[in-house]
Every structure is written in C-alpha cells, then in structure tokens.
Chains A and B, each alone.
Chain A
Amino acid sequence: MDSSRRFAPHASFGSLTRREALLGATAALIGAAIPAEAASTKTIRAVMHAPLRLIDPITTTAYISRDHGYMIYDTLVAADENFQPQPQMAEWVISDDKLVYTFKLREGLAWHDGPPVTAEDCVASLKRWWQRDTMGQLLASYTTSLDASDPRTIVLKLKQPAGFVLDALGKPSSNVPFMMPKRVADTPATQPITETIGSGPFKFLKEEFQPGVRAVYVKNEKYVPRKEKPSWTSGGKVVKVDRVEWVVMPDAQTAINALANGEIDYIDEPQVDLLKLFEGSNDVVVKNNNKFGLQVLARMNFLAPPFTNEKIRRAAMLAFKQENFLAAMVGDPSGYKVCGAMFVCGTTLATDIGSESLVKGDGMVEARRLLKEANYDGKPIRIIQPTDVNTQKAQPIVGAQALKDAGFNVELLPMDWQTAVATRSNAKLAQEGGWHMYFTALGGAEMSNPLTSAPLNAIGAAGYPGWPDDKEIQALRIRFAEAGSLDERKKVAAELQKLAYEHVIYVPLGQIATPAAWSAKLTGVLDGPAVPYFWNMDKS
C-alpha cells in the first residue's frame, strides 16, 4: 500500500495527500520569500557605505549625498579617467584672452518634471554651489559675472585668467556642482533643499524614501545620454536597469550574507576582513573600483603648544612610518599603498618629494634629536581617538606608540565618532590645549587636487580643523589655480607639497583601498574616483 492511498480516504486535497499539500504550501511560502522581480523589472539592490539622510549634495560634503546627486542630477562638465574635463551637459568655448567662458547647453536636456533645462537654472545652481564649496568659493573670487545670455548659453567672465575653471565645474567629488531647477537652486545655501527634481539619469522616488532605511531610484526614460563611452563621471550615462534600491544594512555580516544569498547585488565599501568569505566564489566579484580610495592622515593643532613649534611638528612627523599605520588599519598589504604623494599616488600631480622618512620609516633618531633641540616641555599630547568607526580606530593607537618612542608624553582621548568630529572642530578647546592631534581618512578624489584638499587649505580659523595659517602655502595654492598648463601645475604642486611637508601642514599616512563586492550577475560596473555609478550597470 502506498502512502497516498493510506491517507486518501479522509485527508486528500483533490489528488494530493495532506502531506503533499502541506509541503506544497510550505514551498510556496518559502518561494514567496525569495526576492522576486516581475519579469519586466530589472532592479539593482545596493548596500551603500552609509545611509542616505541628507538629500542636498550642496549643503553637505557627505559622500552618500554626493552619490545621491550623481543619480538624479547632471553636471555641465565632467572628469574623465585622464583627469581631463569633458563636456557633459554643455560644450564650451574659451576666449583668446582666457577671461570669458561660454557654455552652450546640449539639446534634449529636461528636468524630471518636464520643463527644459535652461541657462538660468544652471547659473542659479552654480551660484548656490560656489557659496558652499571650497573650489567654488575660489572660482567665485575670480569671477566678474556669471549670466545666462540666452536660454541655452551661460557666460562666465573672469577678472584674470585661471587654469582651474573647468576642473572646478567638473570636480568629481564633494561638493559637486550639480545642476538643479532655478526654483530649487534659489534656496539659500545654508538651508537644505527639499525637492528632488534633477535632470540626471535616474529619478528619485520620494514616496518610497525612508531616511536611514532605503532610497529608491527609477530610470529617467527621457534622459538623453551622450554618445561617448562612459569614463568616470563623463561620457554616456546609459541606464540599463529599471530601478535601483539603496538598502541600508547596519550589520556588515548581514550585508555579506545577503549578497551571498542573492538578496542584494552590490555592497559599497564592505568590511574588508569579511571579503575573505568570497575568495574563490564564482557568484561574487570583489574589486577595487574606486581608483583612489582614502588618504589616511594626521593633523596637528596649530593653535596651542607644543605643535605651534614647527620643530616639534616635524619631530612628530619623523616618528611616523606609514606602513605601521596601514598594516594596523587594513592588515592585508593588497588593501593599502605606502604613498608619500600628498596629491595621491596614480594622479598627474603625484610626487614623493618631502615624504622620504614617512615612506621609509627611518626618521625616529632624527625625531628624538629634534624634540630635544626644540625643548619640548613634556606636557601630554592629547590625541582624539574615535572608537566606533573602522577606518578611524587604529591610527591613534599606532600614532601614540610612535610618539612615545620619540619621547613625547601621550594621552589618548577615546570617544565616539560624532563627539570626535565636534571636539576637533572646537577651536576654543584647541586653543586651551584640549586636543593636539587627530587622525582621519579623506577621499582620494578630493585630496588629489591642491584646491580641493581640505587640510592643505591653510587659511586659519575659517579652514579645516587644526587651523594652520600659512601665507606661503596659500600663495602657492593661488599660483596653482592660475597655472595655465599641466606642466606648470605639476611644478607648482611639487613646490606646494615640499613646503607643506617642511611646515608639516598635515601628515599623509598612505592610501587604503575601498573595494566593493557585487553579484556576478552585474555587468558594466564602472571605475571612478567617486563610485559607484549606477549607469552602464546591467543585471542578467
């Protein structure tokens, strides 16, 4: 007697037994749980490096807001893989005297809600952007006028020739000069915008946005991509999927499990030690698609002794060896690069001038000698020590040990990241000697240019915490801005780096990679200085 007949008399569902029906129902229930997509909808689910909360990429320098900007907005100019500015929304003509830049918007540009993009919109966007962005502020200071001469023409007139205009308009990372409708761009630059209308390749679904949970984008069907191949943020932004969901996962292991299980397709900056789980996997690709990663650095407090003394700053720098920091932070040598270039290894401005002791790690004897010569009084060096952010944890410990070895008296100040940011920004506390040093890691894209490098902007109180006030450095930054040719810029950048090392404006501690992991079902994942870009990506 078979089992089906045994149960058949009083427990069948049509031709099924109760057990078969139960198994079927369970299978259906489980099947429903596997992420399913309608056959016609291609969706990429990505876990980004941070939750999106701020939707205004101009009021914040947060990278997640920049990434959101690239989804829904477009730029007049964009950088290609050779660092060259390329036309994106506009082509341009430069007058012979290099004082007038005329931008002509290309045809077919329209806002997500229908109206065409006009020159007036772009002028308003640029004027809002240059109130916030460091490079934008510099551009504003060189500008005589910025106007729309007709609906498709923008005219920028300068007081004197400047070599950085196109670089500023095509800067790939925060704050990116994204174009917004005039009514949005007229929002004061101190007040975050609330509208999400752009002209970019994706539209933002505001009704599905849950801050800190998920952000959803759909393909902008009316977007007209350029014909060129995509290269960094330039070229054709061809969208090949219908929908992109940014899913927030606070737990790194859960994100890895979800990728392994096919529930998500992409992880931006996964926890590096967990990536070993994908070694030998055919289903997941692990690649460093962010060309520059992060530059690790130490910054001293220029407002209070002992680091007001250049000799003592120099002693501290000589005590450091980049490899020690990088090994403690990352471990696996393939995940970091010893690099003395302030403007990031692999860029056109890269040079190792002035970085010899940091790279070789042979400065300890000289550090001790200098410290003695400088009459260091033995008062403790207070180092801010963030304890809750992976990329910030190890440096204070390594740095403290190196400083102790050189003869410094060191005190670590453990705190959470937000407190660390607030503490280091507190100039009054700094003046009172409340802190003397902090470590951080900044995006290679910003650090690759003397005009966008925040710690190199030695402008004093209005600058980046640490507040060096160095007129020689500032003069060289201006020379760099005005340099007309690449050769001239390289020459000035080298001088600038040499001087910055001599004055110990900050201490570069090498570069760390920020690889991404994605499903092998994804194709067309682009490289760039501010990835990920979701155009050109396809999903099988």
Chain B
Amino acid sequence: MFGFILRRIFASIPVMFVVTVTIFMLLRLTPGDPASVIAGDNATAEQLARIRTQLGLDQPLQQQFFDWMWRLVHGDFGTSIISGTPVTTLIADRIEPTLSLALATITLSVIVAVPLGALAAARHGTWVDRAVIALSVLGFSIPVFVIGYGLIQIFAIELRWLPVQGFRSIRDGLAEFGTRMIMPTLALTFLYVALIARITRTSLLEVLGEDYIRTARAKGISERTVFMRHALRNAAVPIITVIGIGFALLVSGVVVTESVFNLPGVGRLTIDAVLARDYPVVQAVILLSSLLYVMINLAIDVIYVLVDPRIRY
C-alpha cells in the first residue's frame, strides 16, 4: 500500500506540470490583461502601456512562464497583481469559509442521503422509493440560488432568525459561526443529498440482486444484517467516489452559494481573479485545486481497500 501511495504521488508530478503549462497558456491566450483593471476606465493608452511594462506583461511569454516556474519550485506562488497581497495570504484568508461549508455540507448530506438512499432501496418499488426519487429529482432541478433566496426570505427576512449573509470565523464563537453557516449549508445540501441518495439507492439495488446476498438470506441471516453488513458495505465503493468528488468540488469553490450568502470563499476569489486577469492568483488557485483533486482521488483509492478487501493495488 505504501508503495502504491508513493507511486501515485510521483505519477502526479507530470500531471501537475501539464496543468501548470495549460493554465499559463489559457490565461495568456484569453484577451484582456490586468493593466486595464489597475488603470481604470479613464486610462489612456499611454498609461496602460506603462503599467504593462511595469508588471512585466510586455515580456516574451516564455520568459514570463520560466519566471513563474522558477518562483513556484521555490515555493513562491507570487503576489496578486491587483492588490499586491501574497497569493498564499489571499488563499489562506479564503480557505476557512470554503472548508467550513464543504465539511458541513458533505457531513449533513451523508447523514441524510445514505439512510434515505438505503431506505429507498430497501422499499424498492413502494411509495417510499418513489418519494425519494422525486425528492432527488427536485434536488437536482432547483438551482442552488433559488433555494438560497427562499431560505433567506423565510429565515432571515420573515422570521428574522438568521442573518442574511456573511461569515464569521469559528474563533469568533460557535454561535456567530454556526448561524451564518446554516442557510448556505442547507442550500447546498439539497443538491448533494439528491446526488448521494440516488447513487446509494442504485448501488444498493445492484448489490441486493447479487448471488451472495441470496446466499446470505438462504443461510437464514436476518434481513437487517444482510442489508447492513453485506449489501451496504459492498455498495460503498461508488458512494465513496461520489462523496470524495463532491467534497473536492465543494472545496474548489461554489461561487453561486458564496455570492448569494456573501461568503468570502475560494470560489469568489477565483472568479474575481479571472475577471481581473490576476494571473498569479488564478494560476495558484487552479494549481492547488488540481493538487486537491489528485490527493482526494488517492484518498478515495486508499479508502476502497479499507471497505472492500477484494481491491488490491
């Protein structure tokens, strides 16, 4: 297993290199540059040209790329062209809201969705199953911002139980933190519950039709034990995959939710940086997101072995 993990880490190096080249080229091929953001709408062409020179944007592309790579291999992600803040500081400031939202959403989604999916599989073909499918379709179909505005209208505007927006660190107190996380978490949970419940149901239905389940039942094992020990565990692989990828998606930023609830997360940082053509920030965020995906995929592969001993690397 240790050898497998090492091999996977080494294999990720060329992947990351391809990602770096791709991000760099895509950004440079996109029209526009940060000079126009810095100069403002009233700027003359002369002012823009001077800013471009000062930022080094008039240098040849390969020179800019090697400068960036050189800093990168020395652990320096650079400085935001727009604000002058180190990119690592910008990302560190934004990671808490994103991680908090991702962890809360994924935890709540798993707690609700796995039993819901299991219930639907256990009551396959009944009204319970159909209700879960209907809920799942609803969860997929309603955009997150609609759920978000709905929650704000009810809990913030009408009932005045929760604040409309904002984020407070958990260091400011659990109440300050928790009350601001409830609505964004609920808004996102709808989608993830729909996804995970559906996968759980489908995966369980597939496993429940297997020979070893029939054998277990024939041996007189209780239906509860068959379901919990034999079926659910064997159905876990696709569920874990979805949870893992879902978590990675959440951590790499949920822009709409962050905007509706005004959470200063990584998603908003990325979008703002893209719109301002803040190259160092976009490059760092995408690079780190790619690294996160690689790591989560690795973690998922390791968890496979733990839940299913038949899997060997």
A contact residues vs B (CB 8 Å cutoff): 28-30, 32-35, 51, 53-55, 59-63, 65, 132, 134, 174, 190-192, 194, 210-214, 247-251, 253-254, 257-258, 260-261, 263, 388, 415-419, 421-423, 425, 427, 440, 442, 446, 454, 457, 461-465, 467
Contact = CB atoms under 8 A, between A and B. Distances in A.
B45 A462 contact: yes
Interface string B132-165: 0000000000000000010010001100111111
B83 A211 contact: yes
Given A32-B173, A60-B39, A263 B47 contact: no
Contacts of B54: 190-191
Nearest to B159: A30
Contacts of B289: none
Contacts of B179: 29-30, 32-33
14 contacts: A54-B38, A60-B38, A257-B157, A258-B164, A260-B157, A261-B164, A419-B31, A421-B37, A422-B31, A423-B31, A457-B44, A461-B45, A462-B44, A467-B45
A33 to B, nearest CB: 3
A257 B156 CA distance: 9
Contact of B149 (A51, A253, A416, A417): A253
A421 B261 CA distance: 30
B85 A454 contact: no
Interface in B19-56: 30-33, 36-48, 50-51, 53-54
Given A54-B83, A60-B38, A212-B272, 12 more contacts: A32-B179, A33-B163, A33-B176, A54-B82, A211-B90, A254-B259, A258-B165, A258-B166, A416-B32, A418-B37, A457-B44, A461-B45
A213 B262 CA distance: 9
A321 to B, nearest CB: 25
A454 B43 CA distance: 8
Nearest to B271: A250
Nearest to A417: B275
Nearest to B268: A250
A254 B165 contact: yes
A251 B157 contact: no
A34 B41 contact: no
Interface of B: 30-33, 36-48, 50-51, 53-54, 80, 82-85, 90, 93-94, 149, 152, 156-157, 160-166, 173, 175-176, 178-180, 259-262, 264, 268-269, 272, 275-277
Contacts, number: 164
B268 A174 contact: no
Contacts of B93: 210, 213
Contacts of A192: 38, 84
Contact of B269 (A61, A132, A212): A212
Contacts of A442: 41-42
Contacts of A61: 39-43
A388 B276 CA distance: 13
A168 to B, nearest CB: 16
B152 A174 contact: no
Contacts of B51: 59, 190
A440 to B, nearest CB: 7
B262 A210 contact: no
Nearest to A420: B32
A462 B50 CA distance: 11
A442 B41 CA distance: 8
A263 B163 contact: yes
Nearest to A464: B44
A257 B37 CA distance: 29
Nearest to A465: B45
A151 to B, nearest CB: 32
Contacts of B43: 61, 425
B233 to A, nearest CB: 37
Nearest to A452: B42
Contacts of A260: 157
Contacts of A258: 164-166, 262
A303 to B, nearest CB: 11
A247 B44 CA distance: 30
Given A30-B161, A33-B176, A261 B42 contact: no
Nearest to B43: A61
B175 A32 contact: yes
Nearest to A392: B41
A4 B294 CA distance: 57
B36 A132 contact: no
Contacts of A62: 37-38, 40-41
A418 B165 CA distance: 28
B259 A53 contact: no
A255 to B, nearest CB: 8
Given A33-B163, A190-B54, A440-B41, A425 B173 contact: no
A511 to B, nearest CB: 16
Contacts of B176: 32-33
Given A254-B260, A257-B152, A418-B36, A190 B45 contact: no
A419 B32 contact: yes
Contacts of A425: 36, 43, 45, 48
Contact of A254 (B36, B164, B178, B275): B164
Contact of A418 (B50, B259, B275): B275
B259 A251 contact: yes
Contact of B82 (A30, A211, A251, A457): A211
Contacts of B277: 418
Nearest to B175: A32
A32 to B, nearest CB: 4
Nearest to B51: A190
B262 A250 contact: yes
Contacts of B32: 416, 418-419, 421-423
A251 B275 contact: no
B162 A454 contact: no
A328 B53 CA distance: 39
A301 to B, nearest CB: 12
A261 B163 contact: yes
Contacts of B149: 253
Contacts of A174: 40, 42
- Of the candidates A35, A51, A210, A454, the one having the most CB atoms from chain B within 10 angstroms of its own CB is A210
Contacts of B180: 33
